[in-house]
Amino acid sequence: MSEEKKYGTIAIEENELIRFENRTKHRDYNIEFTCPEFTCLCPRSGFPDFATIYIDYIPDQYCVELKSLKLYVNSFRNVGVYHEDVANKILDDLVDLLDPKEMHITADFTVRGNIHTVVNASHYKEDLLEEFVEA
């Protein structure tokens, strides 16, 4: 008897980040997401790693669609990836999709081997950063 893939497994495998137009462009505002059930695999041991991922950004033209973000975050569960790469990969993918004014990712990993790892990665839109430096 062959086991068919469940619809959730298929949705995660086929995940695609989706954006929609920011409808409140006349002001800056923060969007914050907390993903408390993040899992991935240690690339050396294959043991699971657990983290809470915090996403905080100021949108420019686009915002991320929540279901697509959920499926994207869940797509890491069977991937061997270092803690440092988790935060930077998520940041790179979301910046590529959204081109936000500002974005910060925090990957707060559960203690493993008596070490608590927190990785912070940030992006600032270049033209806005230049305006700030010149002021």
Using CB atoms within 10 A of its CB, is residue 53 exposed (0-12), middle (13-18) or buried (19+)? buried
Q: Catalytic pick from 42, 85, 92, 99? A: 42
Is residue 35 among the annotated active site residues? Answer: no
Q: Catalytic pick from 28, 35, 40, 49? A: 49
Ramachandran angles phi, psi of 48, nearest 5°: -75, 145
Is residue 49 among the annotated active site residues? Answer: yes
d(CA 54, CA 109) in angstroms, rounded, equals 11
Distance of CA 19 to the CA centre of its chain: 14
Read out DSSP for 9-60?
HHHHHT----EEE-S-TTS---EEEEEEEEEEE-TTT--EEEEEEEEEEE-S
d(CA 123, CA 113) in angstroms, rounded, equals 31
Catalytic residues: 42, 49
